[in-house]
Chains A and B, each alone.
Chain A
């Protein structure tokens, strides 16, 4: 009997069902100060990705494409297994492969991490977003993009400590993993978790996921991974996508998973108007030209913000990696 929590415990419904995730469940809303309190508190959910059980098969990518009806293009091989080569507006999740020689054992470990939106409890994307209602957070923890409200400015990318959202060149809106909010809304788990052959991806309440992770970590410790642990980084208030890592003491070995992710202090401190200007001052290029025109005229950026922004630009180690050229 399998006692792992699994999303695949039932097949999706086909009878028309009302969505159980609606405006009344929104607890945070981008660029919106006074949000009415939600009518109810949903149980927090989480996706747990056990990197030690992951076989890097990309079933999650495949299921994600099919469920979300996205169309990643056929690229080329550039000497690596990552395809597409990065997250895109058509690829919300990506297996990232790292060949790591463990200095303690001198043996090769092929670290394979499924990258994608972490659904932070304290979402940097939402805080950075200037478009009212373009990013929302539901009381179950899902951070979702409402594309109709998105202005394609790309601030969410800069605000994200994990460098996740991507702006579509076709419609200039920002895209990322929704945690399959449409499936969760009818009581199903995300498509990736359903598909995952080894159930390295599981989904359930955040509390259950933490318990499940504890069992997995104990197993890993028994196999000699003394530093096995859960990745639920407090710097972003914890996440609703968590990892079990065999080497939780050094998350960065997993394709630069941030050791201690935090929302940029700039984003944290932005209030009102300076928020938008501050981002502009960061020299952030992923801005539509018309929008850029608006902000270029702004001159109310504080010296402090400017200095901070310059520091971020000049010291990229502390900033999230710059977005690839194709997104500019």
Chain B
């Protein structure tokens, strides 16, 4: 989230699209109801289903899953056509005026540079024109035919209300009503917020869904302001933290990148990360990359990391592919190329797409280790549960370790919420039985392996032997010790560069924040963006002052918000070019003639003059990108793409299937179904009564929503002879499930491209262990294809068939 949950109360219009906040984030949704009650805010919900969020909305519009880009570009088109643009903001704070080089184009649903064999674009034409100094050329009058604004205008022109209706199935009148409400937020004193979640990310074109809304928010001037922003509601309690901490195949901490094979040495790695400003005088904060990288490497390998060995650059693996994401790992498992797998609090049997392939993959492992507070289907994937897990136990040769871990009630530490608050919590209970902390388990595995490497040697032992592990009890690092490492400290006295006699920070002291980090090995820091969380002032994440001056929703002294305790990202953009708040009643920052003052920590140097330095300091441009250059694989602008399994062909190019650059493994191609065979458009989702596959273990939540079901319209139920509460079979090209039928008015057939499209909804909370009734999730059915840029599986749009059926067997809990 660019903003905080508590900031949503400041909005005038909430658009929930690609999410279902009332069900998935009820207590965060409270701030929507506050905005409605106290600001007269309106709520718009656009969703294939009439959700519980829709039940309290002012306007609901149906949309076919996977067609959001068309809707959003339709709204952008509407705003441009009707001159509903926050012009000062758009001209100054976005790259609307940047001139794109010749050769860039878009036709037949494809951008310039596409290669069908490679399923990839040559993105070299997706860039600016540069002048002799390396700065991008701009035309502030927006008259140049190839400036971003004119290209955008031409690109979205095809998305007329009629085209939106044709693709999305959203009635034209509803679309226009919503477009008009959104367009009103182009006023500098009206703000819209976007609340989205996995309904946008879990598509092969997920990033472009989000870009569509981000671009709309930019031309409305709604980024950086109170009550505005792009608010990714996010999933698990520390999904934000795990991402920030870089527990991903392609990341290091703080969004530093894993090196690739094309970066054989540190100098090469750094060369592509200098991020020189593309406009004069801009900040381009990533110019500090080396300070964060070296401090990270010092945190990892301590004294072993020296300038001479490039700070142990080769201790970090080099990727040969963009990422060993989960889809690739399970593909490799199926190919017999993976031997061991560790699931720390993760349940891939239910959580990953195409369960048949997932279980087949696990069955080929030599060993599987699970660490979890609860039983998981993954730990018992080899156990036969009749129809619910029909495996041949004897033939599965995988050795499995199920390790009991503690849960939140017994743990201590910080979690980062979706609003980037790092909140510390304390333990309250004694762990059950022999359950142990994950830190203990990880330390025990590490210490044992290190000992084996000491004794036996082996493959490249250095990064293991030299890993910095100086904890009070090496067998179980304490949360505060780890937090202090994450914050970082001075390794030698830090001296003032202008006055070397002055010591800024003595050796051993915690750095105040990342501004003190250096690239000469004199500082260490586990995760630069978190630096400041635990400095010499103490554990700032444990702060509990909930005072909120002037009720702005900022709560500046409540725990710690990264970066630098900043509560709203891009908050400089809340003021106009001269530093005056766009809306004085919603001031966040203001230029007082010498510095930025206000309620939040400025997202810009505190003395950076208003007209000199633009608000988007993490971008080389200093401005936000309506045109993304070559940064995404599937286009500098979003463009409508159908799901891989779609009830209609892409109206822009019927030959295109799905995202034309999304990776597809050969073994999965045969497992895509067609609309002839599988006529119904399915989508998967959570219900408010449950949290993923956890609460089915909880007697209370199991009582509130006990049994797996699917939802379908009264029309389809009638057509198929399906009675409410009866058993149905739902199947895709990849698998089959049986469920109870919930027949509802909340799902209605859509008309897309002249064709009736029936939607089938499949909630995801059931498995074969726990307090709830045994059931299937949607992932026996979902396709094994990822988002083109990040490989998030496309769980939200696929094809199925349905028929009346009988109860599955094996339902009696063993």
Contact = CB atoms under 8 A, between A and B. Distances in A.
Shortest 10 CB-CB contacts between residues of A and residues of B: A79-B725, A79-B724, A197-B26, A77-B707, A110-B55, A55-B22, A77-B740, A78-B725, A198-B33, A72-B703
7 contacts: A55-B22, A57-B22, A57-B23, A74-B702, A75-B703, A79-B725, A199-B33
B30 A199 contact: yes
A4 B37 contact: yes
B93 interface: no
A83 B688 contact: no
B715 interface: no
B26 A73 contact: no
A170 interface: no
Given A77-B706, A80-B742, A57 B55 contact: no
B23 A76 contact: no
Contacts of B773: 74, 76
A65 interface: yes
Contact of A55 (B55, B709, B724): B55
Contact of B703 (A80, A83, A101): A83
Nearest to B739: A77
Contact of A66 (B551, B700, B709, B772): B700
Contact of B725 (A59, A74, A80): A80
B29 A52 contact: no
Interface stretch (B79-87, B480-488, B743-751): B743-751
Given A57-B26, A72-B703, A78-B725, 9 more contacts: A52-B56, A55-B56, A55-B688, A61-B704, A78-B724, A83-B689, A83-B705, A110-B746, A223-B58
Contact of B29 (A3, A108, A197): A197
A57 B705 contact: no
Interface string A187-200: 00000000001111
Interface of A: 1-4, 52-59, 61-62, 65-66, 71-81, 83-84, 91, 99, 101, 107-110, 112, 197-200, 216, 219, 222-223
A112 B746 CA distance: 13
Contacts of A91: 703
A56 B40 contact: no
B50 interface: yes
Contact of A108 (B40, B700, B740, B746): B746
A222 B37 CA distance: 11
B699 A74 contact: yes
B725 to A, nearest CB: 3
A108 B743 contact: no
Given A62-B701, A110-B50, A219-B37, A79 B742 contact: yes
Contacts of B689: 57-58, 83
B27 A75 contact: no
A88 to B, nearest CB: 10
B699 A71 contact: yes
Interface of A is mostly: loop
Contacts of B702: 74
Listed residue (A59, A71, A76, A197) with the most chain B CB atoms within 10 angstroms of its CB: A197
A79 B741 contact: yes
Interface string B46-68: 00001011111010100000000
B369 interface: no
B23 A55 contact: yes
A209 B246 CA distance: 49
A10 to B, nearest CB: 13
Contacts of A73: 703
B505 interface: no
Contacts of B38: 2-3
Contact of B740 (A54, A79, A101): A79
Contacts of A198: 22, 26, 29-30, 33, 56
B421 interface: no
A102 B674 CA distance: 37
A36 to B, nearest CB: 41
Contacts of A216: 37
B708 interface: yes
B125 interface: no
B462 interface: no
Contacts of A2: 34, 38
Contacts of A52: 56
A79 B726 contact: yes
A165 B38 CA distance: 37
B744 A99 contact: yes
B329 interface: no
Given A55-B53, A108-B745, A83 B29 contact: no
A112 B55 contact: yes
A59 B699 contact: no
B50 to A, nearest CB: 6
A176 to B, nearest CB: 18
B78 to A, nearest CB: 22
A222 B40 contact: yes
A1 B724 CA distance: 45
Nearest to B722: A79
Contact of B706 (A57, A66, A71, A76): A76
Contacts of A53: 33, 37, 56
Choose among B29, B38, B689 the residue with the greatest number of A CB atoms under 10 Å from its CB: B689
Interface in B322-359: none
Interface in B575-619: none
A238 B165 CA distance: 49
Contacts of B742: 77, 79-81
Nearest to B21: A55
